[in-house]
Structure 1
Amino acid sequence: MVICAITLYPVRWFAVRLGLLAPMSGHSTHTRVTPLGGGIGIWMGIVGTFAIGTLAVAFARHAPEWQARMPAAMVPLLNGVWSKAGQLWAVLGAGTVLAILGVTDDRRGVNEWVRLAVEFAVAAFVVYYLDFGLTAYIGVAWLTNLLSVIWIVGLINSFNMLDNMDGLSGGVAAIIAATMAAVMLITPDPGTARPQFFVAALLLVVLGSLLGFLWHNRPPAKIFMGDAGSYLVGFLVAISMLMATYAGDGEPRPHAVLAPLCVMAVPLYDMITVLWIRVREGRSLFVGDRSHFSHRLVDLGLSRTQAVLTIYLVTATCGLAAIVLTQVTVIQAVMVLGIVACMLLLVVILESTGWRKDDQ
């Protein structure tokens, strides 16, 4: 949080020289030119924190005097953390590629097909080379790998499309990261019977960096996340969900694998409905507009702040449902999923009021 918050001050000051300015057009609701370099600060917050942590672990493993000052429960974990360092930096390297793609897109614009090709290539790298993928109790390797790649690309673009109002994409991502970190800490790994500290740490560092960004992105925003930030955050959230285990070490809970879908309900709802509206109206799928969930709430009479807070509330509700989903039986899980479905149906009913007004 601190690294990101501090880094974004010089990014804001030098945004003009860096060529990172948001135009007053497309799906933006701002009436003045605003810097687009929030992703640089988010990247620095995440990578900088893990760089410091990696160096600290490397040093502490061979320094008994430092281990003596550490909490006793942490010392046995040092070697395990170090064994994951290579995997962690491979993931961060893949995320850095997407962040560079995003900065390039923010500065000069990148052809949408080139952008998608890079996203699919990075997703394929982490699925096929790093071996991160869904299990989902399907048992068909090629299908789960394909779904994993689609999941990563889908989440990257869902956060990108959600970045259309002050504090919206960053705040929603922070709620999702916090929720999934809680799931990781209360769902033990079946192999070790310990909380999933590695995935939780990744999510909590992402959360901290997002909080540092939100200090600058709160209304009226001084800087936007930009493509660099949304690509990176979407990618890391997607990867963390693939790295996680949802079964626990007790009673089998196959329904727990639906927790990521549950917590991602709002961004996915926004992306699917926006794409549907664009297809229905015969417009390009890749050109930004004001047909997003947040814009539709404003059209219903909410202020921008009220629209963002409403989306926060729905996201938090779905997030709490995801936490419960991983701890309950199948019958109880059906009820939890029913609550989420009712929440989304309520949103659709409220939005239908605006649709009828438009038709009249």
Structure 2
Amino acid sequence: MLISVTVVALLRRWAPRLGLLDRPNQRKVHTTPIPLGGGIGIWAGWLGTLGAGAAFVLAARSSEGLAAWLPPWASQHLSGAAERLDMLAVIVGCGTVLMIVGLIDDRYGLGWKLRLGIQFAVAAGCVSIPELRLTAFIPLPIVTVPLTVVWIVAMINAFNMLDNMDGLSGGIGTIVGGLLAAALLLGADPATGQPQLFVAGFVLTLVGGLVGFLFHNRPPARIFMGDAGSYLIGFVLSIATLLGTYAGQQEHPLAVLTPLFLMAVPMYDMLTVIAIRLKQGRSPFEADRNHLSHRLVDLGFTKPRAVAVIHLLTATCGLGALLLARTDLPGALLVAAMVGCVLALIGLIELTARRRLKAAAVESAERVASPVSPAVPDPSGAGGAKES
């Protein structure tokens, strides 16, 4: 967190000199140019903490004296963590590539086809590692490998789409990351019976970077994360969900849905935005003001309250996910129904409110188009009562 706070503070000064400025336009909610590049700070905090952790693991493995200082619950995981450092290096490399691509997009602008192509290439590289593949009890790589690639790319773009108001994408990333870490620590790995410290630690390094960034991004934001940050958040969280183990095939099988519940709100925003754009005959990759946050503002919410509503929705769906590994089948189905009801409720509220706003706009336009005619004087006199 301290690394992120410091780096972002420096970037606030350097970004304008480097041409990293987000200038206002008709589809953006800010009215003055804001520095970009906060994603570099998030990346620096994430990478710095991971690097320090990896160095400690290697040092502890080579020094019995250092390992002796660790409590038993931590020392028993040293060998497993060391064996996964090569995989961690691949993940860090892929995340860094995406951060750089996002930074170039922030500075110069890249076409959506090129961006999407790079995202698919990075995701395909990740799934070459078996541990980074979705399984969900489906022993068919021909199915699980494409699903994994789509999941990674979808999460990258979901968090990119959420980056449209102060504190929104960073706040959701913090909530999702924190709840995912809690799920991994509270729900033991079915194969070992132990908390999943490696994956939880991996995702908490991102949370620390996000908290440091949010210190500068809270309303009114003094810097934006840009695509460099949103790409990294979506990538790291998607990889963390793939690294985690949530259920055994015989015990709590519906706990495998934990990532879907944690990501329910980002997916809702992404899918509804795409549906709106397609309905309007536009490209799903054409930026606009149809995101959930914008729609809430159109309904009368202030920007901070719209962000708070989305944060609370994310927390509500995510908290339910914590129960999946600790309850029986009826309980898990109840949690699933609750998450579905939350999303359906916000959808119905949106639909009803937008219809009323549209009807009010039509009525107002009709009044403007058909003004009330002035009263015509009564030719029989002063307009008083007629004589009988």
Question: Any idea what the Cα deviations from partners look like across 1:122-143, whole Å, max 9, x if unmatched?
Answer: 0011112454111122332111
Partners of 1:129 and 1:324 lie apart in 2 by 29
Contact 2:190–2:246, Cα closer than 8 Å, also in 1: no
Q: 1:137 — aligned with what?
A: 137
> Unmatched 5+ residue regions in structure 2?
360-388
**Matches of residues 1-360 of structure 1 in structure 2 within 5 Å?**
1-25=1-25, 27-129=27-129, 131-247=131-247, 252-360=251-359
Aligned-partner Cα distance in 2 for 1:328–1:27: 45
The one-letter code sitting in structure 2 at the alignment partner of 1:270 is D
Taking only the aligned residue pairs, the percentage that are identical comes to 48
Give the aligned partner of residue 371 of structure 2: none
Greater Rg over alpha carbons, structure? 2
Q: Secondary structure at the match of 1:74?
A: helix
Contact 1:26 1:287 in 2 (8 A): no
TM-score (norm 2): 0.89
C-alpha distance in 1, partners of 2:322/2:131? Answer: 26
Q: Which amino acid aligns with 2:58?
A: A
Structure 1 185/26 Cα, relative in aligned 2: closer, same or farther at 3 Å? farther
Are the equivalent residues in 2 in contact too, given 1:216–1:222 (CA < 8 A)? yes
- Counterpart contact for 1:253–1:330, Cα < 8 Å: yes
Moved over 4 A (4+): none
What is the number of equivalent residue pairs in this alignment? 359
Q: Return the letter of the residue paired with 2:252.
A: R
Distance across 2 between alignment mates of 1:27 and 1:159:
18
Q: 1:66 offset after TM fit, Å?
A: 2.4
Secondary structure at 1:221's aligned position in 2? coil
What runs of 5+ residues in structure 1 fail to find an aligned partner? Answer: none
CA distance in 2, matches of 1:123, 1:56: 29
- Secondary structure of the 1:128 match is coil
Contact 1:188 1:248 in 2 (8 A): no
Question: CA separation in 2, counterparts of 1:337 and 1:303?
Answer: 30
Whether the aligned pair in 2 keeps the contact of 1:166 and 1:219 (CA below 8 Å) is: yes
Q: Distance in 1 between matches of 2:64 and 2:77?
A: 14
Instruction: Spell out, residue by residue over 1:260-292, the C-alpha distance to the aligned partner (whole angstroms, 9 max, x if none).
Output: 111111110000111111111122322221111
Identify if the C-alpha distance between structure 1 residues 27 and 194 changes in structure 2 by more than 3 Å, giving closer, same or farther. Answer: farther
Cα drift, residue 333 of structure 1? 1.1
Query: 2:131, 2:243 within 8 Å by CA — same for their partners in 1?
Result: no
Change (3 A) 1:358 1:334: same
Deviates more, 1:341-350 or 1:25-34: 25-34
Q: How far is 1:201 from its partner?
A: 0.6
Normalising by structure 1, we get a TM-score of 0.96
